[in-house]
Amino acid sequence: MTELFDPSAFLSTCSGRPGVYRMFDSDARLLYVGKAKNLKKRLASYFRKTGLAPKTAALVGRIAQVETTITANETEALLLEQTLIKEWRPPYNILLRDDKSYPYVFLSDGAFPRLSIHRGAKKAKGRYFGPYPSAGAIRESLSLLQKTFFVRQCEDSYYKNRTRPCLQYQIKRCKAPCVGFVEPEVYAEDVRHSVMFLEGRSNALTDELSAAMEDAAVNLEFERAAELRDQIGLLRRVQDQQSMEGGSGDVDVIAAFINPGGACVHLISVRGGRVLGSKNFFPQVGIEEDVAEVMAAFLGQYYISSPERDLPAELIVNVVHEDFPALIEAIDKLRGRELTISHRVRGTRARWQQLAVTNAEQALGARLANRQHVAARFDALADVLNLDEPPQRLECYDISHSSGEATVASCVVFGPEGPIKSDYRRYNIEGVTPGDDYAAMHQALMRRFGKLKDGEGKLPDILLVDGGKGQLSMARDVLNELMVPDLILLGVAKGATRKAGFETLYLNDAAHEFTLKGDSPALHLIQQIRDEAHRFAITGHRARRGKTRRTSTLEGVAGVGPTRRRDLLKHFGGLQELSRASIEEIAKAPGISKKLAESIYANLHSE
């Protein structure tokens, strides 16, 4: 692909039918995926001599090859386009970074069900409500239900092993079904009311509780009446906060907003006329700079590329696009559901629409302000280190462990726009002396920079190490050993007081020691990256340590499954007594042969 691309020759053979086109650079890297009702007309628009937007011109300047795929109609082209964008994530397309599964409220089965947050596959038996746009929105609903109807939210393992009520009972957040303080019928009624709330039938629930309160008052059951009054008050307060009078149905309200610095899409989820919450998305804007283009790209990736996502009956948007009919047809073909996209709305729906626009505008403004703040800190760091231009990539490493247990090294990456979380890495450290931070750092850096020889990863402009002279020297040894090109090293050591603002910095080696003023933007950037590396390392360490501590030493023994492990521990009264037993004593346990007893004994005494 070294020859120059000839658009005239290409267009002369290009079809005028619907389809998808893919643009590649000279290294055969996919730059952009698009669809068209007429491939020839759409592609010709890229190669006109004037009138191209700057980003489009930059794309065209890199094109070395264009491939097309003809489809039966525009709907099929849209479906194929979204599949290719999701698979290849081309740099010039609008990309939606949203890889998390959406959370649900889960109500388990049983006489005394539990309410909880759930993500992922719906394997457990019970009912699922949602999806909610964020975990925060679910926590608000669960907190209200806990205060109002006292349905338990504790883990089943905790619930089954209680012998007396926990703190939730004392603070009137639970009726203590674990110790029999509530009758199954009463608890079932609380669960039924919770389900009505989660289904969006708040008005019917409030009416039912009001009638029950009046009956209790007539029957002189004043304590019961007061309890119902409090429940009604909580529900009314939530209904007022949601301000959804007159609203009904399942709707997603979506507003797109763009500025020269980026784009934001704000989504408000309404189910059963009740707002479940909202979420901001900041898609990577490619060559499309029009609000309608951003909206069309978002809807395609959000609802077509993720078919498992909940689909409402209606979408309310703030702009229209010519691809909406094809989008509706594609969703109907893919998911078998009819969808309405509304733009001109009145009353409550108009208020929802305006609220989404306002939120998108404010969220993008706040994000851009923060980006500019981070960029200013990068400029300040360049001045402090006497660099010709601000660095574009900073990496920071930290080590976390508990007395040498479950050691984890972290790598966080920052650019002028803030954290680049897709490049974050954790390294589980093995084969070093417990507590040896130098050896742990050596292993992490060897694994990270060793990949550069294979052409993997990017070389940072500055490498920060959380530690003093020793850690800095270790990092320099690794870079020399791997023959990594000249790289700026910055060691960050806590000062004598070990307080933020008094850090001692080392540039490249221990001889170049310096400090910065506490109000220095450069120091603030260094602290931010150092603290993020520390947080990321601690999170990984705690997860690894928790997994280790939850793992039974018997799990590695072939032939000892969950049932046999339980029977063994029950027979001996615990792992400690089992560890003290001889092979002959283990073989006396039900279902344990002499050979299996030897394997169990060897596993328990392997260290």
Whether 518 maps to a domain, the answer reads: yes
Strand ranges for 9-125 from DSSP E: 19-24, 30-36, 65-70, 104-108, 115-118
CATH of the domain at 51: 3.40.1440.10
Nearest Cα neighbor of 269 from 235, 236, 314 is: 314
Whether 379 maps to a domain, the answer reads: no
Share of the chain above pLDDT 90, in %: 28
* pLDDT tens per residue, range 553-594: 777 678 888 888 888 887 777 777 888 888 888 888 888 898
Please indicate, yes or no, whether residues 557 and 538 belong to a single structural domain of this protein. Answer: no
Q: How confident is the model over 475-492, as a mean pLDDT?
A: 87
For the full predicted model, state whether its pTM sits above 0.75. Answer: no
* pLDDT tens per residue, range 440-455: 999 999 998 888 777 7
Please indicate, yes or no, whether residues 412 and 533 belong to a single structural domain of this protein. Answer: yes
User: Distances from the Cα of 587 to the Cαs of 528, 583, 590, 600, in angstroms?
Assistant: 57, 6, 8, 10
Phi, psi of 261 (to 5 degrees): -90, -5
Please indicate, yes or no, whether residues 496 and 403 belong to a single structural domain of this protein. Answer: yes
Q: How far is CA 316 from the centre of its chain?
A: 25
Among 547, 564, 582, the domain-final residue is 547
Please indicate, yes or no, whether residues 591 and 500 belong to a single structural domain of this protein. Answer: no
Q: d(Cα 521, Cα 376) in Å, to the nearest integer?
A: 8
Whether 69 maps to a domain, the answer reads: yes
Please indicate, yes or no, whether residues 526 and 499 belong to a single structural domain of this protein. Answer: yes
Domain residues for the domain of 177 are 108-242
Please indicate, yes or no, whether residues 81 and 134 belong to a single structural domain of this protein. Answer: no
Per-residue pLDDT at 287: 63
Q: d(Cα 464, Cα 533) in Å, to the nearest integer?
A: 10
User: Distances from the Cα of 324 to the Cαs of 16, 69, 293, 329, 343, in angstroms?
Assistant: 21, 21, 11, 9, 11
Please indicate, yes or no, whether residues 461 and 346 belong to a single structural domain of this protein. Answer: no
Please indicate, yes or no, whether residues 235 and 120 belong to a single structural domain of this protein. Answer: yes
Q: d(Cα 229, Cα 212) in Å, to the nearest integer?
A: 10
Q: Which residues, listed in sequence order, are joined to residue 33 by a DSSP beta bridge?
A: 22
CATH of the domain at 596: 1.10.150.20
Whether 382 maps to a domain, the answer reads: no
Q: d(Cα 39, Cα 21) in Å, to the nearest integer?
A: 8
Q: What is the CA radius of gyration of the chain?
A: 30
Does 321 score more than 90 pLDDT?
Answer: yes
Does 324 score more than 90 pLDDT?
Answer: yes
Write the DSSP string, 328-378.
HHHHHHHH----EEE-S--HHHHHHHHHHHHHHHHHHHHHHHHHHHHHHHH
- 426, 459 contact by CB (below 8 A): no
Whether 378 maps to a domain, the answer reads: no
Nearest Cα neighbor of 55 from 5, 81, 90 is: 90
Per-residue pLDDT at 500: 67
Q: d(Cα 356, Cα 375) in Å, to the nearest integer?
A: 28
- 427, 444 contact by CB (below 8 A): yes
Structure tokens, 234: 């909580």
Band the pLDDT of 425: cuts 50, 70, 90.
very high
Does 366 score more than 90 pLDDT?
Answer: no
